[in-house]
């Protein structure tokens, strides 16, 4: 797993990592209860936890554990919003304490992420769940929406905590530890506004990029293709869920008809009622299956759709950095005066470009490995659930057959039942 | 549970291939006694398209079915001789059944397979020429013949025997029986239903049951078709996984192989539903048979209403004639009659006329008494025989439908096993990603 080692030439981002092997291993926090009665979500959470634990983190034995839970509605005169509890447990020396409990709202997460991107423009910062859900009339504070968002926020913080560089970011530490975030948020201009400036600046000088280095060209192509594919997989999955739900609706009408028929029958009533019960039980399994898809596969796919967008943005930023350098470089070539000052600028931009490229290259491998792990795990889990579904239905019908064989006093020949 | 005829069929001689095709080998409740099926083996072996001119001289294409018969002696003696065979089309089966219904109104006569495909889920063709439909109809026709030929009463019928053995001129022979004249008009039957007074409670209960049976089986068939439709959708969407995984695998290095092979399994999964649902059609056919049987059962009950009604009418007629005689004899008019009125207006009639009328009445009364006797016997016989056959039917129905439910469960199990296999394979592929 080559992606796991920390690339050594992160100029300016070099960190001393804690190589202490005797780290106390924290027991995994119990799966967060979020008031959702559905039985599957805790186990899927545990799966995610387990996998992150199993991943050989090399020098980064996991020493930072974060959970997001307890969504609570806060109502003020001006607005209503949800506060999430963020619990941190750590052994890192940079932290004054080993446990922290803070409360954060979605805006705070947005702030954190923009800070991270601004500090590390060509690192791949895991995406946040979307601000709004586009389709349908989903209320902002509908339970499903909050449940999904909370899980995604939890994923986000854990992804950051696993990142060899980002997890040591100052803003990240503040986010996890500060009681009050508002004072910290006011510092410095937002990256986005700076980004706007850069875009305009580049646009003004634009000749387009001279040429993208080959590896980044390949990366760009991959990102575009990947984005397409993952979107399609997501669409297909959503469609399957929809079809399954419609199938379930029909089953719910179909099953009881056997029961109704049984009411006008004598000897036939018992097997008819048994079939009605079988259909009902299979219906329950179908419901559970559709739910599992929604809880495990869909969020993961969705996350990687957002990742694809993040990657595109990262590539754009890298391109801009290169463009800025090239623009200044050309200015240097054409100007006669101010050569020294310009040369210094150009050198600075050149260093920045090289640093950014290296950072991206390193993080790219890391990201790909993570993507592979996450998607593989989600697909494996879904396939397992399918097997489980069919096994349960099989058991239902087999028990029916058994009951009928026990019932029949006339001997059925072996041949009329395969 | 094999009835004896079948046992001989299956037990003998490994050389002689049972003519009955595949899964249509169903064990029907065969009556003791000399049913036709004990004497000969019957099957509907093939179907073929023919073209010809119909009654309005237009060219049409129709399907004919090959009926093969072999005497049981030939089978048990191990003769590998070719069976006798002839071709019949669906309309001839219909004619046979109409004849049997009219001629044996106390029997719940087995139904024919549906004329047109009904309760179709959308993917399945509603086309009568569709090979799957023709095949299922072939099975249904054979089932019909086997049921009829194993019935203790029907199996002795000459027309049935003729149908199975003589290809040409059969229609004429049937028409010559004049059975069509005996067929009841729907109006008469309906009228009887409304106006009859003293019906046998068991028959009324059975009639009510036939309504229930019809309603439940048709509802179930409709719902099943909808379920099949939906299930089809679920499976087929997985084909899209196949395609996108294949495309995606092209851009991945380590993940490529796993994705590619998983995609193949998704394609296989999507394709598997076609066979699964085609198989389920056989279950639907079993339900359809009993949907049609409900109609046959009701017909027997209606016949009871009719015979009972005719008896009541005849009795009523006899009573009124006797009353008329009394009035004529005593001169006391109790009932209104035209004659009575004209007598009042134009004066009494002459004694000779009265004598003549009395004499006529006596004859009519004698006839009427015979009629009442006849009708009483007819009604009584029908009640007795029909009750026996309805019991037989009920036993057969319980057994057949229970078997159908078991078959349904077997199909579900088979589908589940396939699902387990495909997804286990897919899981292995994902693990290799």
pLDDT in tens, A59-114: 557 888 999 998 988 888 888 888 999 999 998 888 888 899 999 999 999 999 99
When CB atoms are compared, the residue of B216, B220, B424 closest to A387 is B424
Cβ within 8 Å of B, A 49-88: none
Residues A224 and A281 reside in one and the same domain: yes
Question: Residue A9 — pLDDT band, cuts 50, 70, 90?
Answer: very low
- The alpha carbon of residue A156 is apart from the nearest alpha carbon of chain B, in Å, by 24
Q: What is the pTM of this model?
A: 0.80
The CATH number linked to A109 is: 3.30.1520.10
* Chain A residues closer than 8 Å to B2 by CB: 413
Q: For residue A76, what pLDDT is reported?
A: 86
Residue-wise pLDDT for B391-405, tens only, equals 999 999 999 999 999
- Is residue A367 one of the residues assigned to a domain? yes
Q: For residue A201, what pLDDT is reported?
A: 54
User: Helix %, strand %, coil % for chain A, to 5?
Assistant: 65, 5, 30
Mean pLDDT along residues A181-195: 62
Q: For residue A45, what pLDDT is reported?
A: 46
Residue A35 has pLDDT above 70, yes or no: no
- The alpha carbon of residue B418 is apart from the nearest alpha carbon of chain A, in Å, by 9
Residues A246 and A129 reside in one and the same domain: no
Residues A344 and A244 reside in one and the same domain: yes
Interchain pair B427, A384: CB under 8 A: yes
Residues A248 and A283 reside in one and the same domain: yes
Do A82 and A74 touch, CB atoms closer than 8 A? Answer: yes
Tell me the C-alpha distance between B283 and B20, whole Å: 19
When CB atoms are compared, the residue of B1, B26, B394 closest to A410 is B1
- The alpha carbon of residue A82 is apart from the nearest alpha carbon of chain B, in Å, by 37
Choose the final residue of a domain: A165, A181, A197: A181
The CATH number linked to A353 is: 1.20.1270.60
pLDDT, greater one: A174 or B40: A174
- Is residue A253 one of the residues assigned to a domain? yes
Tell me the C-alpha distance between A128 and A113, whole Å: 8
Residue A327 has pLDDT above 80, yes or no: yes
Residues A354 and A272 reside in one and the same domain: yes
Q: For residue B16, what pLDDT is reported?
A: 38
Choose the final residue of a domain: A111, A146, A181: A181
Interchain pair B234, A391: CB under 8 A: no
Taking CA–CA distances from A262, the nearest residue in chain B reads B216
- Please choose, from the candidates B212, B222, B219, B217, the residue with its C-alpha nearest in 3D space to the C-alpha of residue B288: B217
When CB atoms are compared, the residue of A222, A380, A387 closest to B251 is A222
Residues A279 and A357 reside in one and the same domain: yes
Residue A191 has pLDDT above 60, yes or no: no
Tens of pLDDT, residue by residue, chain B (433 residues): 334 434 333 333 333 333 434 333 333 444 434 566 666 777 777 777 777 777 787 888 888 898 888 877 766 666 666 778 899 989 999 999 999 999 999 999 999 998 888 887 776 666 777 788 888 889 999 999 999 999 999 999 999 999 998 888 999 999 998 888 888 777 787 888 888 888 899 999 999 999 999 999 999 999 999 999 999 999 999 999 999 999 999 999 989 999 999 999 999 999 999 999 999 999 999 999 999 999 999 999 999 999 999 999 999 999 999 988 888 877 766 666 666 666 666 666 677 888 888 888 899 999 999 999 999 999 999 999 999 999 999 999 999 999 999 999 999 999 999 999 999 999 999 999 8
pLDDT, greater one: A239 or B72: A239
- Is residue A15 one of the residues assigned to a domain? no
A403 near B CB under 8 A:
no
Q: For residue B346, what pLDDT is reported?
A: 62
The tokens describing B27, both together, are 């064990």
When CB atoms are compared, the residue of A372, A398, A418 closest to B255 is A372
Identify the weakest region by mean pLDDT among A199-213, A353-367, A379-393. Answer: A199-213
- Is residue A53 one of the residues assigned to a domain? no
Q: Which 3-state string (H, E, C) describes chain B?
A: CCCHHHHHHHHCCCCCCCCCCHHHCCCCCCCCCCCHHHHEEEEEEEEEEEEEECCCCCEEEEEEEEEEEEEHHHHHCCCCCCCEEEEEEHHHHHHHHHHHHHHCCCCCCCCCCCCCCCCCCCCCCCCCCCHHHHHHHHHHHHHHHHHHHCCCCHHHCHHHHHHHHCCCCHHHHHHHCCHHHHCCCHHHHHHHHHHCCCCCHHHHHHHHHHHHHHHHHHHHHHHHHHHHHHHHHHHHHHHHHHHHHHHHHCCCCCCHHHHHHHHHHHHHHHHHHHHHHHHHHHHHHHHHHHHHHHHHHHHHHHHHHHHHHHHHHHHHHHHHHHHHHHHHHHCCCCCCCHHHHHHHHHCCCCHHHHHHHHHHHHHHHHHHHHHHHHHHHHHHHHHHHHHHHHHHHHHHHHHHHHHHHHHHHHHHHHHHHHHHHHHHHHHHHHHCC
Predicted ipTM beyond 0.95? no
Which domain range does residue A263 map to? 207-418
Residue A14 has pLDDT above 60, yes or no: no
- Is residue A92 one of the residues assigned to a domain? yes
Cβ within 8 Å of B, A 196-235: 222, 225-226, 229, 232-233
* Chain A residues closer than 8 Å to B410 by CB: 401, 417-418
Element (H, E) at A27: none
pLDDT, greater one: A240 or A201: A240
Residue A32 has pLDDT above 70, yes or no: no
Residues A237 and A300 reside in one and the same domain: yes
Mutate to test the interface with A, among B214, B264, B397, B405 (most CBs of A within 10 A): B405
Residues A144 and A293 reside in one and the same domain: no
Question: Residue A20 — pLDDT band, cuts 50, 70, 90?
Answer: very low
Q: Is A338 exposed, middle or buried (0-12, 13-18, 19+ CB in 10 A)?
A: exposed
Q: Domain count for chain A, please give it.
A: 2
Residue A360 has φ and ψ, to the nearest 5°, of -65, -45
Interchain pair A376, B423: CB under 8 A: no
- Is residue A296 one of the residues assigned to a domain? yes
Q: For residue B112, what pLDDT is reported?
A: 95
The DSSP string of A29-77 is PPPPP-S---THHHHHHHHHHHHHHHS--TT----EEEEEEEEEEEE-S
- The alpha carbon of residue B119 is apart from the nearest alpha carbon of chain A, in Å, by 14
- Is residue A304 one of the residues assigned to a domain? yes
- Is residue A161 one of the residues assigned to a domain? yes
* Chain A residues closer than 8 Å to B247 by CB: 229
Tell me the C-alpha distance between B302 and B297, whole Å: 9
């Amino acid at each position: 797993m080559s992606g796991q080692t920390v690339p050594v030439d992160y100029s300016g981002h070099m960190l001393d990592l804690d190589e202490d092997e005797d780290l106390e291993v924290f027991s995994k926090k119990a799966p967060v209860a979020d008031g959702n009665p559905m039985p599957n979500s805790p186990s899927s959470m545990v799966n995610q936890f387990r996998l992150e634990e199993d991943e050989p983190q090399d020098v980064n034995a996991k020493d930072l554990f974060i959970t997001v839970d307890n969504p609570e509605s806060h109502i003020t005169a001006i607005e209503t919003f949800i506060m999430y509890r963020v619990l941190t447990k750590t052994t890192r020396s940079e932290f004054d304490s080993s446990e922290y409990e803070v409360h954060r709202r979605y805006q705070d997460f947005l702030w954190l992420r923009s800070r991270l991107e601004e500090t590390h423009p060509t690192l791949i910062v895991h995406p946040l769940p979307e601000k709004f859900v586009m389709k349908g009339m989903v209320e902002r504070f509908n339970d499903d929406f909050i449940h999904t968002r909370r899980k995604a926020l939890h994923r986000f913080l854990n992804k950051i905590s696993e990142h060899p560089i980002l997890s040591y970011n100052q803003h990240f530490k503040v986010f996890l530890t500060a009681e009050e975030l508002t004072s910290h948020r006011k510092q410095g201009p937002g990256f986005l506004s700076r980004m706007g400036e850069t875009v305009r600046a580049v646009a003004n000088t634009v000749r387009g990029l001279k040429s993208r280095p080959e590896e980044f060209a390949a990366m760009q192509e991959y990102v575009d293709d990947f984005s397409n594919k993952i979107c399609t997989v997501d669409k297909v999955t959503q469609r399957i869920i929809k079809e399954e739900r419609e199938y379930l609706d029909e089953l719910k009408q179909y099953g009881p008809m056997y029961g109704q028929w049984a009411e006008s029958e004598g000897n036939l009533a018992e097997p008819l009622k048994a079939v009605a019960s079988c259909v009902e039980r299979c219906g329950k399994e179908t419901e559970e299956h559709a739910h599992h898809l929604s809880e495990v596969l869909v969020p993961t796919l969705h996350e990687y759709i957002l990742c694809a967008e993040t990657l595109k943005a990262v590539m754009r930023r890298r391109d801009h950095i290169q463009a800025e350098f090239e623009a200044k470089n050309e200015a240097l070539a054409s100007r006669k005066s101010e050569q020294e000052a310009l040369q210094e600028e150009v050198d600075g931009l050149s260093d920045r470009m090289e640093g950014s490229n290296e950072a991206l290259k390193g993080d790219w491998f890391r990201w790909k490995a993570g993507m592979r792990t996450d998607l593989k795990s989600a697909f494996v889990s879904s396939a397992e659930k399918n097997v489980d579904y069919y096994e349960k239905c099989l058991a239902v019908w087999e028990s029916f057959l058994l009951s009928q064989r026990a019932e029949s006093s006339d001997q059925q020949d072996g041949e009329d039942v395969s | 549970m094999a009835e004896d005829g079948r046992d001989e069929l299956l037990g003998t001689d490994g050389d002689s291939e049972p003519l009955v095709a595949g899964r249509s080998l169903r064990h029907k409740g065969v009556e003791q006694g000399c049913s036709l099926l004990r004497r000969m083996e019957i099957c509907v072996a093939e179907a073929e398209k023919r073209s010809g001119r119909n009654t309005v001289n237009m060219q049409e294409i129709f399907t004919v079915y090959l009926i093969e018969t072999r005497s049981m002696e030939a089978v048990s003696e191990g003769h590998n001789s070719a069976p006798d065979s002839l071709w019949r089309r669906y309309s001839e089966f219909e004619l046979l059944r109409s004849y049997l219904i009219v001629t044996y109104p106390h029997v719940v006569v087995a139904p024919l397979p549906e004329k047109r495909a009904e309760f179709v889920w959308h993917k399945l063709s509603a086309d009568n020429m569709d090979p799957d439909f023709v095949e299922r109809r072939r099975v249904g026709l054979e089932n019909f013949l086997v049921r009829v030929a194993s019935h203790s009463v029907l199996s002795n019928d000459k027309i049935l025997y003729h149908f199975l053995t003589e290809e040409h001129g059969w229609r004429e022979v049937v028409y010559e029986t004049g059975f069509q004249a005996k067929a009841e008009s729907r109006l008469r039957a309906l009228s009887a239903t409304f106006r009859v007074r003293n019906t046998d409670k068991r028959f009324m209960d059975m009639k009510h049951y036939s309504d229930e049976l019809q309603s439940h089986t048709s509802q179930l068939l409709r719902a099943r078709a909808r379920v099949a439709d939906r299930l089809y959708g679920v499976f087929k969407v997985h084909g899209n996984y196949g395609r996108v995984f294949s495309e995606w695998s092209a851009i991945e290095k380590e993940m490529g192989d796993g994705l590619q092979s998983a995609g193949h399994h998704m394609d296989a999964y999507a394709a598997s539903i076609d066979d699964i649902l085609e198989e389920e059609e056989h279950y639907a056919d079993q339900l359809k048979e009993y949907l049609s049987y409900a109609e046959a059962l009701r017909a027997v009950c209606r016949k009871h209403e009719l015979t009972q009604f005719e008896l009541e009418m005849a009795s009523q007629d006899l009573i009124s004639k006797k009353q008329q005689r009394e009035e004529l004899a005593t001169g006391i008019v109790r009932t209104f009659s035209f004659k009575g009125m004209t007598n009042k207006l134009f004066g009494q009639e002459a004694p000779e006329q009265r004598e003549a009328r009395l004499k006529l009445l006596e004859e009519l009364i004698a006839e009427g008494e015979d009629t009442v006797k006849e009708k009483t016997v007819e009604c009584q016989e029908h009640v007795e025989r029909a009750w026996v056959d309805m019991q037989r039917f009920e036993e057969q129905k319980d057994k057949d439908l229970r078997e159908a439910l078991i078959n349904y469960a077997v199909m579900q199990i088979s589908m589940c096993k396939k699902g387990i296999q495909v997804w286990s394979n897919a899981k292995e592929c994902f693990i290799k990603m």
